[in-house]
C-alpha cells in the first residue's frame, strides 16, 4: 500500500513540474515518465532548485535532453584504455596488438543509459559549479542563457563514463587562468589556456576504435586522437566558464577521413575554430583542411532539418543523429548549390557526396522538389557528387562537379574527343616534396677500409627527386667492400627503401652488417630492417642529424647501381602493381578504361575522354585514392 502511495506522489510531483514547464514541458514529462526506478533522482534535482528559477531551467534542460545519452561499458574497453595509457611511456602499441583489436567495435558493448543510472548529486554539483564558474567571468553577460546551457552546462560530452569532473578540473586550472589572464576577452582567456594545455603534452594514437575516454582518464593520460584532445579542451574550458563545443566533418573531400576540432563561441556569436595541439588560437584562423560541410556535437536534441528525417530508416544513420547540428553556415555562409537530376528520382531525399576512393560518402542531405534540389552552405573549391540512395547505396543522379565561388563546373566526359594521358600518382602529392627533399645532399661513398680513409664518392643527390623510385649509378667502377650513406649535417636520414646491386648480381646485396658513425639505440638497430622490407611507405629515420650508415658487403665487389626510395606515401606508381583507370559517366557511375601492370614509374592510357573526372585504382595495395582531372597534361587533385 505504501509503495502505491509513493508512486502516486511521484506522479503528482511529475505532473506539477510538467505543467510548470514552458516550451519543452511535454518533452520533460515524457522523460520523467520513462525514468522508471531512477525517476526520484531526477525529481530530487527539480525539487532542489524549486525556488531558484534559472538553475531550475538549467536542470530542466539537462533532464529533458537526457534520453539517448549513454555510456558504453565492458572489459574490452577497459583493457584498451589501459593499453592507451601504457602507450604514453612505451611510445607505441605493437603491431600485433593493433591487428588483434582492429575489428573491435565498441558499439556492440553494453549500453548504460544516463536516465537509468544518473544520481541527483552528480547533476546538482554539475549545475552549481557551472553557474559558479560562469558568473565569475565578465564575458558571461554577453551570452544568452541558451548559449550557457549548450556550451558550458552539460555534464557530459559524448558517450564517456558518468563522472564528477567539474570540481577537479576547476581546482586544477582556475588558478592557472587567474595567474595568466585577468581580462574580459574570452578568446584571449581561451588562448592562454590552450597554450598551457599544449605545454602539458599530448600523445597522438589512433590505434583503437573506442568511445570517448572520459574526463578523469584524460586528466592524467593525454593520449588519443583529435577528438580526444578536443575533449580535454572542452572539460578545461567549460570548467572555467568558457563556452566551447566540438565541430567536425564526417568525411573530408581532401583527406578521406573525419576530423574533429574545438569550436570556441565568441562574444560576437562567431565561432573560433582551433585545435590546441596544432596552433595558437586566433579569431580568424587560416584553415588548410577542406571540410565540405561542418557539423556540431550538441547536448540538446536538435530540431529536425527536415520533417520526418529522424524517423526515416531509409536515411543513413549519420543524418538521424538528434544531437548533431549542421553549422556550415558559420563557416561557408551564402554558398548554396542548386542542382537538377537527369532522371526522375524515386526517392524523397537527395545527397551531396564526396568520393572516398572506394565509394560515394554523403555529407549533406536535402529534399527533392520534382527534379530539383538545393544544398545550403557548401564549401567552394571542392569536387562533389550529387546522388540518391538506391538499394542501400549511393548512386549519382548527375555528373560530378567542381563548386566554384560563383559557378558550378560539371565534369562531362566528351567521348568524341579522346586523348592519351600520363599518370604518376593516385593521390594528392601532399607533403611528399618535403619528404623527398630529405635526400638532397646525400652522399654515397665506397671504400675497402673500415675507417673509410680510402673513401671514393660514388654518387650524390643534388636535387629533390621528382618521384619516390630512384636509380643511382656510381661514377666509379671499382670493387668496394664498404658503402657509406651520409646525410648532410643539417638533415636526418629518412629512407623508405635502400638497395645495392652488384654488376654480376640480379638480386640486391644483403649486407653482412650495418652500423652508424654513432651508437645506435636498440630501437634504431631494429628499424634498420625497414630499409629493405619492401614496404615503400615505412621508413628508417635517424635519431641525429648528419648520420652516416655503413654497409659491410662481406666481400669487395663492383656496384652497378643503387635504388633509393626516400620517405614517401607510396602513392606514386609502384612497379609491378596492377592499376585500373576509371572515368565518371554521371548516372552510369564509374566506367573502366582498362587495367595495367606498372612496368615503370608512369602509366599511359589511351582513349581518355576530354572533360572527364578520373580515378586511378591500385588493385594490389593501399587505400589512399582520390579522383582527379587532367589539365595541360597534368593530373590535378583537389
Series of mean pLDDT values for 10-residue runs along the chain (638 residues)? 39 42 65 89 96 97 94 92 80 74 86 96 98 96 96 97 97 97 95 96 84 95 92 98 96 82 93 92 83 96 94 94 95 93 86 94 95 96 95 94 94 97 96 96 98 97 97 96 97 97 90 96 94 95 97 96 97 97 97 97 97 98 94 94
Phi, psi of 512 (to 5 degrees): -70, -30
Count Cα atoms within 13 angstroms, Cβ side, for 481. Answer: 12
Write down the pLDDT at residue 247. 97
Alpha-helical runs (H) found in 201-262: 215-220, 226-239
Sequence-separated (6 or more) residues with CB below 8 Å from residue 106? 72, 74, 76, 77, 209, 210, 211
- Please say whether the beta carbons of 218 and 232 come within 8 A: yes
Q: What is the full DSSP assignment across 544-563?
A: STT-EEEEEEEEEEEEEEEE
Dig out the grid coordinates for 360 from the structure: 560515394
Q: Which residue has the cell 575516454?
A: 213
- Please say whether the beta carbons of 614 and 582 come within 8 A: yes
- Please say whether the beta carbons of 481 and 537 come within 8 A: no
Of 431, 502, 446, 498, nearest to 470 by C-alpha is 498
Please state the length of the chain: 638
Tell me how far apart the terminal alpha carbons of the chain are, to the nearest angstrom: 72
- Strand 548-566 to 513-516 pairing: antiparallel
Report the distance separating Cα 284 and Cα 270, nearest Å: 10
For 57, counting Cβ atoms within 10 Å of its Cβ (0-12 exposed, 13-18 middle, 19+ buried), the class is: middle
Q: 535-556 burial by CB neighbour count: b if 16+ within 10 A, else e?
A: ebbebbebeeeebbbbbebeee
Dig out the grid coordinates for 152 from the structure: 558550458
Write down the pLDDT at residue 25. 63
- Please say whether the beta carbons of 460 and 444 come within 8 A: yes
Count Cα atoms within 13 angstroms, Cβ side, for 525. Answer: 7
Write down the pLDDT at residue 10. 42
Sequence-separated (6 or more) residues with CB below 8 Å from residue 116? 35, 36, 37, 38
Strands of 391-478, DSSP E = 393-396, 401-403, 408-410, 414-423, 443-447, 456-460, 470-472
Report the distance separating Cα 167 and Cα 151, nearest Å: 17
- Please say whether the beta carbons of 482 and 452 come within 8 A: yes
- Residue 47's alpha-carbon distances to 4, 10, 33, 56, 60, in angstroms, are 21, 12, 16, 9, 11
- Please say whether the beta carbons of 439 and 566 come within 8 A: yes
Write down the pLDDT at residue 91. 67
Alpha-helical runs (H) found in 528-631: none
Amino acid at each position: 500500500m505504501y509503495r502505491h502511495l509513493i508512486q502516486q506522489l511521484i506522479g503528482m510531483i511529475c505532473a506539477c513540474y510538467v505543467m510548470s514547464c514552458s516550451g519543452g514541458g511535454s518533452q520533460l514529462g515524457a522523460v520523467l515518465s520513462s525514468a522508471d526506478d531512477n525517476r526520484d533522482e531526477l525529481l530530487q534535482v527539480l525539487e532542489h532548485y524549486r525556488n531558484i528559477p534559472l538553475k531550475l531551467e538549467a536542470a530542466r534542460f539537462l533532464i529533458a535532453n537526457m534520453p539517448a545519452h549513454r555510456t558504453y561499458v565492458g572489459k574490452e574497453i577497459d583493457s584498451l584504455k589501459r593499453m592507451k595509457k601504457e602507450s604514453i611511456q612505451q611510445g607505441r602499441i605493437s603491431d600485433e596488438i593493433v591487428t588483434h583489436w582492429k575489428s573491435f567495435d565498441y558499439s556492440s558493448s553494453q549500453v548504460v543509459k544516463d536516465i537509468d543510472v544518473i544520481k541527483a548529486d552528480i547533476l546538482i554539483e554539475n549545475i552549481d559549479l557551472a553557474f559558479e564558474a560562469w558568473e565569475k567571468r565578465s564575458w558571461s553577460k554577453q551570452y544568452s542563457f541558451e548559449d550557457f546551457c549548450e556550451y558550458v552546462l552539460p555534464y557530459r560530452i559524448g558517450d564517456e563514463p558518468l563522472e564528477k569532473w567539474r570540481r577537479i578540473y576547476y581546482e586544477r586550472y582556475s588558478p592557472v587562468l587567474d595567474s595568466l589572464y585577468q581580462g574580459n576577452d574570452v578568446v584571449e582567456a581561451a588562448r592562454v589556456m590552450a597554450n598551457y594545455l599544449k605545454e602539458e603534452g599530448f600523445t597522438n594514437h589512433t590505434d583503437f576504435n573506442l568511445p570517448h575516454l572520459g574526463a578523469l582518464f584524460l586528466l592524467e593520460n593525454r593520449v588519443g586522437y583529435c577528438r580526444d584532445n578536443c575533449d580535454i579542451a572542452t572539460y578545461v574550458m567549460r570548467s572555467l566558464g568558457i563556452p566551447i563545443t566540438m565541430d567536425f566533418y564526417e568525411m573530408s573531400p581532401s583527406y578521406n577521413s573525419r576530423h574533429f576540432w574545438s569550436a570556441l563561441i565568441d562574444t560576437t556569436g562567431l565561432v573560433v575554430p582551433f585545435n590546441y595541439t596544432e596552433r595558437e588560437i586566433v579569431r580568424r584562423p587560416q584553415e588548410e583542411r577542406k571540410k565540405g560541410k561542418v557539423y556540431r556535437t550538441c547536448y540538446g536534441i536538435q530540431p529536425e532539418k527536415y520533417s520526418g528525417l529522424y524517423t526515416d530508416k531509409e536515411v543513413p544513420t549519420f543524418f538521424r543523429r538528434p544531437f548533431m547540428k549542421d553549422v556550415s553556415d558559420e563557416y561557408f555562409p551564402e554558398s548554396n548549390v542548386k542542382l537538377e537530376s537527369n532522371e526522375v528520382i524515386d526517392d524523397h531525399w537527395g545527397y551531396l557526396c564526396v568520393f572516398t576512393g572506394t565509394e560515394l560518402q554523403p555529407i549533406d542531405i536535402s529534399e527533392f522538389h520534382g527534379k530539383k534540389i538545393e544544398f545550403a552552405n557548401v564549401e567552394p573549391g571542392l569536387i562533389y557528387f550529387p546522388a540518391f540512395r538506391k538499394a542501400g547505396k549511393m548512386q549519382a543522379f548527375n555528373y560530378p562537379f567542381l563548386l566554384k565561388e560563383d559557378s558550378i563546373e560539371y565534369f562531362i566526359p566528351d567521348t568524341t574527343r579522346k586523348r592519351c594521358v600520363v599518370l604518376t600518382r593516385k593521390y594528392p602529392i601532399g607533403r611528399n616534396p618535403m619528404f623527398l627533399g630529405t635526400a638532397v645532399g646525400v652522399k654515397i661513398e665506397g671504400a675497402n677500409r673500415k675507417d673509410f680513409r680510402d673513401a671514393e664518392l660514388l654518387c650524390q643527390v643534388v636535387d629533390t627527386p621528382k618521384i619516390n623510385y630512384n636509380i643511382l649509378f656510381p661514377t666509379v667502377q671499382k670493387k668496394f667492400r664498404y658503402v657509406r650513406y651520409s646525410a648532410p649535417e643539417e638533415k636526418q636520414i629518412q629512407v623508405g627503401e635502400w638497395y645495392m646491386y652488384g654488376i654480376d648480381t640480379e638480386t640486391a646485396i644483403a649486407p653482412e652488417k650495418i652500423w652508424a658513425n654513432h651508437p645506435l639505440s636498440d630501437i634504431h638497430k631494429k628499424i634498420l630492417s625497414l630499409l629493405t622490407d619492401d614496404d615503400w611507405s615505412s621508413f628508417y629515420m635517424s635519431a641525429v642529424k648528419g648520420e652516416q650508415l655503413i654497409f659491410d658487403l662481406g666481400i669487395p665487389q663492383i656496384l652497378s647501381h643503387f635504388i633509393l626510395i626516400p620517405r614517401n606515401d607510396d602513392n606514386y606508381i609502384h612497379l609491378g602493381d596492377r592499376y585500373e583507370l576509371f572515368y565518371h559517366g554521371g548516372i552510369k557511375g564509374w566506367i573502366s578504361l582498362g587495367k595495367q601492370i606498372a612496368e615503370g614509374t608512369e602509366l599511359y592510357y589511351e582513349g581518355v575522354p576530354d572533360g572527364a573526372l578520373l580515378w586511378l585504382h591500385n588493385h594490389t595495395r593501399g587505400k589512399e585514392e582520390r579522383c582527379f582531372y587532367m589539365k595541360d597534361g597534368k593530373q590535378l587533385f583537389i
